[in-house]
Structure 1
Amino acid sequence: MDRHDDFREFVLARQQGLMRTAYLLTGDAHLAEDLLQSVLIKVARRWSKLSGDGSPEAYTRKALVNQYISWKRRPQREVLSADLPEHGTCHDDAALQRIMLRQALAKLAPRQRAVIVLRFWEDLTEAQTAEALGCAPGTVKSQAHRALARLRALAPELAYLLNDPEIVEVAR
Structure 2
Amino acid sequence: MRERQAVRHRRRTREFEAFVAGAAGRLLHAATLLTAEPREDNPRARRLLTAALSRTYAAWERLRGEDPYEHTRQELATRFARTAWHRRGPRTGDGVLARLTPQERLVLVLRLYEGVTEEQAAAQLGLSAQRVRAICTRAVAAMRSRPPAPAGPVPKAATPP
The normalised TM-score by structure 1 is: 0.64
Aligned to 2:130: 138
CA–CA separation in structure 1 for the residues paired with 2:103 and 2:67 = 22
47, 60, 66: which one aligns with 2:60: 47
Matched, 1:35 2:48: yes
Bigger CA radius of gyration: 2
19, 24, 28: which one aligns with 2:28: 19
CA–CA separation in structure 2 for the residues paired with 1:23 and 1:6 = 25
82, 91, 106: which one aligns with 1:70: 82
Mapping of 1:44-123 within 5 angstroms?
A: 44-50=57-63, 52-72=64-84, 73=86, 82=94, 102=96, 105-123=97-115
The Cα of 1:127 is off from its aligned counterpart by 3.4
Give the length in aligned residue pairs: 134
Shift in CA distance, 125/47, structure 1 to aligned 2, threshold 3 Å: same
CA–CA separation in structure 1 for the residues paired with 2:142 and 2:133 = 14
Structure 1 runs of 4+ with >6 Å offset: none
Q: SS at the partner of 1:4?
A: helix
Which structure has more helix as a fraction of its residues?
Answer: 1
The Cα of 1:157 is off from its aligned counterpart by 4.3
Asked whether the 8 Å contact 1:61–1:132 carries over to 2, the reply is no
The normalised TM-score by structure 2 is: 0.68
**One-letter amino acid of the counterpart of residue 17, structure 1:** R
Q: Which runs of 5+ in 2 are unaligned?
A: 1-6, 150-161
Tell me the C-alpha RMSD between the 2 structures: 2.8
The Cα of 1:75 is off from its aligned counterpart by 7.8
